[in-house]
Structure 1
Amino acid sequence: MKVMVGGTFDPLHDGHRFLISRAFELAGPEGTVTIGLTSDQFADRKSHPIHPYKEREAALLIFLEEKGFPRIWIIEELHDRFGSTLDSEFDALIVSEETFPVAKEINQLRRDKKRPCVEIHQIRCVLAEDGKWISSTRIWRGEIDVHGHLIDHQSQI
């Protein structure tokens, strides 16, 4: 199965790891996974600082190597929210609750172009210790770490 997933992945947290792992699980050992990684210009719209593309790509490569995923994957630079999803031949798109509306839009745009729709597989967002979503914004604010553990600022004084 050919699967696509995308994001800024900065910092690469447990929610991202789960999303990417699910893509490989769905693709299977003979499948392929395309990981869309936002360009610096596209990522600039975020409300918090973003590491340069090459640093985010390096962190992603380390994670992929550590997990030992099959070598049949591609990292594609995203310059918009769709990347190559509108024209590529693929079977499924893995998204979080947060990005599900974009997946629906992708299928609508594919229909408009007379392209076949793709399966949408939505994962649940990974929760931090406090029961709220693990998010890059929360990590950048210093509320939690990449594993969703609360950061105790009192013990740092």
Structure 2
Amino acid sequence: MNITAHRLLVLPAAVALALSMTGCSAVANIAHKTHDESFADRAAATTGWTGVPAPSWLPSDATDIHNLATNDETNAVIALKSTSREPSGCVEADREAIPFDQPSWAPKLDRFPDRVQRCGDYEVMRIDGGLLGWFSATEPGQKPTASAS
């Protein structure tokens, strides 16, 4: 067997091994053109958020913050733990959308309330022990702003 043929046999095995070592979520993120990030608290989220600024509605006591967003930032879903009753700087409004995905770290919901908190570009609802928020672009290329007002 020549060297080129050997490389062609070894390459698929190496790729398969690399993919298996990165975990299922990394493979899914590549396939679905998303990125998934987690932060211990609001301070870490504020400095480490990817793609757009961290939402200003994140409560000061937020912990265990997770964000799944499309790479173009036109859709996002956020879950966090918090004892705050409501997100910061939001108003009650009719729900317009639902999260584009239900990642493993988000609660599995069959129904969404008709009314949610409108936090700037995000819709947010109370869940057991925290908050669930989402952004859904209403026009091509729209991204969320950090401001809740």
Q: TM-score, normalized by length of structure 2?
A: 0.24
Structure having the higher Rg: 2
Q: Which has the higher contact order (CA 8 A, sep 6+)?
A: 1
Structure with the largest fraction of strand: 2
More helix by share: 1
